[in-house]
Amino acid sequence: MDRSSLDLPFFGPEHRALSDAIFDWAAAMPPIDHHDTDAACRRLVAALGRSGFLRYCVPAAFGGALPELDSRALCIARETLAYHDGLADFAFAMQGLGSGAITLAGSPELQRRVLPKVASGEWIAAFALTEPEAGSDVAAMATSARLDGDHYVLDGEKTWISNGGIADVYCVFARTGDAPGTRGLSAFVVHPDMPGFEIAERLDVIAPHPLARLRFNGLRVPVENRLGASGEGFKIAMRTLDIFRASVAAAALGFARRALDEALAHARGRAMFGHTLADFQLTQAKLGEMATDVDAAALLTARAAWQRDVAKKPTTREAAMAKMTATENAQRVIDAAVQMHGGQGVRVGVKVESLYREIRALRIYEGATEVQKLIVARELMKSAARSAPPGSRKASPEGDRHGS
């Protein structure tokens, strides 16, 4: 795995040390059983907890490795784990995403109760935002949370929930009706042993991961389990996704690096017409394209993470650019690696075949590529409006729909 990008000024020596530690740990991992993903993820979360790597998913005050969440550390961990195995990346990532809203907006009591168990791997976390009729259009969310004394009563469904069915704690977003659209959403900490919580369906996908559709039927959640103020759910969700969106790009980068390494090794060793596959200019040209796609993704991902961690600037546009570019580039790189392997490339058990299945979902979850394009364009227009001469600015009719 090429880790030369860690020598760029975006990273410090502590990031290079983290990369070395995770790489060595992942390389020594026993084989992962992808046929029983529930058991595999439980084992992976426990192992990542024992290793201390899950401490990068929470702040130091609650058992974390650093004073606050560090996007560069999250990216390094995900890229390295994805290079070795997609399920290992998934197990790590969901501990961060699933508890991120608690880190950002939980009360001190909620943080003390949940975050140390996430960092140790004792509890598995999940992030429940998507609904059957509300994916990219968060304003269409229908799950409701009605205040009843010192509890909220939740009714509705969530779907495509990672770790659904095995999680110990869920961050659930629901409509409290404080205002129309995205301004009327709130966030809650929910446990699966609460009456009214149901796993309605387990979902199977091309790259097996624990996924489920959840149903809430009169589920009573204590008021103190609300994250932030009532009506702040959308802001909390977007702040959480802004942190972890760059790490999705990093996971895609890890998949792409592995595909490039597999393609290069295969091309150098595959005999063909008295030469090796790597001797042909067509192969060399494709390898050149693949390497450039990988480096472009690496630079955009590092910039987004650095801008959040060091420059302390909003990264909505930069994270969207990184996620869009890294996932789309990885799809091209992996597809080229499969093509280069010929028939072996589509054989179950060959690494590039599993990479081909793993990468596809990354172009959809945490905001599909098409949504990332809209985010970039929206941020671009906001910037243009701010720099326009007074009197020339026009209000955008799209503001409410996109939750601006």
The terminus-to-terminus CA distance of the chain in angstroms comes to: 40
SS3 of the chain: helix, strand, coil, percent, to 5: 55, 15, 25
Out of 232, 262, 358, 366, the active site residue is 366
C-alpha distance from residue 140 to each of 130, 250, 401 (Å): 10, 30, 10
Tokens 């168990």 sit on residue: 117
Q: Where are the beta strands (DSSP E) in 56-210?
A: 125-128, 144-148, 151-162, 169-175, 185-190, 197-202
Q: Is 24 exposed, middle or buried (0-12, 13-18, 19+ CB in 10 A)?
A: exposed
Q: Is 376 exposed, middle or buried (0-12, 13-18, 19+ CB in 10 A)?
A: middle
The DSSP output letter for 131 is B
Find the helix or strand (DSSP H, E) in which 213 lies: strand 211-222
CA dihedral 124, 157, 143, 155 (to 10 degrees): -90
Angstrom distance (rounded) from CA 366 to CA 372: 9
Angstrom distance (rounded) from CA 323 to CA 300: 9
Q: For residue 8, what are its two tokens?
A: 């760029």
Residues 6+ apart with CB under 8 A from 291: 260
366 is catalytic: yes
Estimate to the nearest angstrom the gap between the alpha carbon of 294 and the chain centroid. 19
Catalytic site residues? 366
